[in-house]
Structure formats: structure tokens, C-alpha cells
Amino acid sequence: MSTHKIAVIPGDGIGNEVVPAAIDCLERIAELHSLDLEFTYFGWGCEYYARHGRMMAEDGLEQLAVHDAIFLGAVGSPEVPDAESLWGLLIPIRREFQQYINLRPVKTLDGVASPLAVKNPIDLLIVRENNEGEYSEIGGRMYRGLPEESAMQTTVFTRLGVLRAAHYAARLADSRRGQLTSATKSNGIVHTMPFWDEVVAETVREYPEVTLTSELVDALAAHLVLKPWTFDVIVASNLFGDILSDLGSSVTGSIGLAPSANLNPEGDFPSLFEPVHGSAPDIAGKGLANPVGQIWSGAMMLEHLGHPEAAAHLQAAFESALRDGFGTRDVGGTSSTSEFTAAVLTAINTLA
Ligand code: NAI
Ligand code: MG
């Protein structure tokens, strides 16, 4: 039996509903595939912040570092400024653990209707650069409250940062349909974006089977609505990738479906798996949350930990529950979070 130590951070809002749902599924899968998943819970997030004035323990990163993976729900609450909750937990984890790839699959699921008249199945991957770019700490505010008040924030692209994201995306495209689309805005953002374009193009030349298309992000957003099935792999900066992946998941039906992996591909540090959505305070505590994004993130975690069969089993199970007509309200269904999870557990047993 292989043992994996997994740090679980349910976080805030619906994180406390979708994480237990996904853990139930992971535990059943572990039993059936003889995996030893050892879950350790960390009660960090906005409630912890209210009591301790910080989002996680002072030595939080050291506590997490001894795990093989991190499984996170969502953080954020109307009582805590979002910049505080994000920069106090998720961003330090992504950066300190060099999780420089944020991988976000977007896929049509049988039983889930798209809000658009999508003509063909969608199956694309968004590779978001996760450590630098527009999400930088460089900048400041001056003359607060005065008419002269101003704010400035500087985007940072490094050759290493762009190069490793481009390599990762090109390798993925190479293993799939060979189409790589790079999101740019080099017409308006005249220093960093041409640099991004150059480094991406140089990198992709090392992959003769991969065709690179550089597309302005505004046109790409329109393209993602009009013909999403034509994309294979999209590589994008931190900000562009964030926006495009919310758009992509909505095109397939709901943000509640979308999973993500924050990867340290070298395995020097634990990688983190979390749904794309946030803590959804508008529906928290009502049993309405769709657990698919969290369960799917669990499947990505199994794959990363070296168990592709267990991952495929879990994936097939939630896809089968959706196909059989189970689904939460956001995908047009009537199941509660726990009713949907029960349907996934049944499918896990049926498919065993
Ligand atoms: P959100 O993703 O929490 O919610 C957006 C909309 O989608 C809401 O109407 C919500 O009800 C719905 N929704 C989201 N997940 C759903 C699910 N699983 N099932 C059904 N419906 C779902 O984004 P929002 O409202 O912008 O942010 C809320 C809080 O979450 C903020 O504090 C924000 O900072 C935080 N946040 C945290 C993230 C993280 O932990 N990675 C990511 C995004 C936002
Ligand atoms: Mg987002």
C-alpha cells in the first residue's frame, strides 16, 4: 500500500460543504484501489483570521511542507478584505511551494447543458502562469484620500517564469492534439506582453509537432464563447488565465464544475488541488453547492500522486452521476450537495 499524507484545508463558506463531499468519495476510492490516504485537517481561513489576526498559523508553510499534497476548498468571507484572505494563505502557498503551473481543465460533461448553443464537445486545458505576472506586490498607493490620490502596480514577467509555463503547456499540447494558443495583449501592453510572446515562441519551437497561435486576449475571450471546441491547450499569464478559466467553465455549464491543480511539476514541494470557484457566501450553508469542482480536483490529485486508474475511476463516477440526471441547482438539477455526493458514491461502487 502506498501512503500519501494529504493536508486538507476546507477554508470558508461552501469549502466546508464541498470538501467533506469530496473526501467521502476519495476515501471510498482509496478503499477500492488499496491506497492509504492520510488526511490531516487545518482549520485555517477567515474564522481563524477573526480569532488570530492571520489566515494561517505562523509556521503554516512548514506544517504543510511535510505533506505529499494539499487539498483546499476555498477561502474568502465578506468580513475580511479579499486581498487579505488571498495573500494570507493561497498566494504564499502557491509561491513558496513554487506551484508555478495552475492547470484548469474545461470539458463538456454529458447531462450538463451549456448556456450557449455549443455545437461540438469542448475539451481544453488552460495553463495559467501561477507565480508572477500581474499579481505582483510591486507598487503602492500615494496621497490616500486626497484629490491627488494615485495607485500603481507593476507586472513582472521573468524569462524563467514564462519559459517554464510555456514548456509545460507545449508538452501538454504535444501529448494531445498539438494546438497551443497563447493569450497576449502585445498591442496595448507594450513591454511585458511582447516579451511573453517572444519567450513563448522561442520555447514552442522546440516542439515541432505543436502549432502555436498567439491570440489577443479580448479576441480569444470572444472565440472562447463562439467556438470553444476549437481549442486544445491555452497558455496564459496569471491574470488572463484566471479570467479565461472562469469564462471557460461557465461555457461548459457552471463554475461549480471547474477543478484546478496548482502544480510544482518537479515535486520539490507539495502541489495544491482546489476548485476554481470561491467560498460562494451567497449560497453557503444551504446545501446547494455543487461538489463536482472539488471532487474533480481530487481526481487530479490522485493522478498527480501516481494513481491514474483511481483518478479515472473517480472521474467516471461523477460523470456517470451527472449523465444519470443528478445535479445541483447551478447545473439545472434538484439534488442537494449530499444527494449528489450519494449518487457519486453509488456510481463509484457500480463502476468498481
Ligand atoms: P465565487 O466563485 O465564490 O461565486 C461566484 C458565483 O458562483 C456565486 O453566485 C456562487 O454562488 C456561484 N458558485 C460558486 N461555486 C459554486 C458551486 N460549487 N456550486 C454552485 N454555485 C457556485 O466567487 P465570488 O462570489 O467572486 O467570491 C466569493 C469569495 O470567494 C470572495 O471572498 C473571493 O475572494 C473568494 N474566492 C476565493 C477563491 C479561492 O479560494 N481560490 C477563488 C475565487 C474567489
Ligand atoms: Mg478566479
101-107 vs 259-263, strand pairing mode: antiparallel
114-252: CATH topology is Isopropylmalate Dehydrogenase (3.40.718)
Chosen CATH of 1-99+261-352 out of 3.30.413.10, 3.40.718.10, 3.60.20.10, 3.40.630.30 = 3.40.718.10
Helix axes 217-226, 238-251, angle to 10 degrees: 10
How far, in Å, from the CA of 275 to the mean position of ligand 1?
10
Ligand lying nearest the CA atom of residue 250: 1
Residues of the chain with CATH 3.40.718.10: 1-99+261-352, 114-252
pTM assigned to the model: 0.95
* pLDDT given at position 2: 73
Q: Is 143 a catalytic residue?
A: yes
Residue 270: CB within 6 Å of ligand 1?
no
**Nearest CA owner, ligand 1 atom 31:** 76
Cβ(289) – ligand 1 distance below 6 Å: yes
218 catalytic? Reply is yes
pLDDT of residue 153 exceeding 80: yes
Distance 269 CA to ligand 1 centre (A): 27
pLDDT tens digits along 183-198: 999 999 999 999 999 9
Percent of the chain with pLDDT over 70: 100
- Is this complex's ipTM strictly greater than 0.90? yes
Q: Over range 142-147, report the average pLDDT.
A: 97
Lowest-pLDDT range of 117-126, 204-213, 233-242, 285-294: 117-126
Examine the residue annotation and report whether 246 is marked as an active-site residue of this protein: yes
**pLDDT score recorded for residue 150:** 98
pLDDT the model gives residue 1:
67
pLDDT tens digit sequence for 241-266: 999 989 998 899 899 999 999 999 99
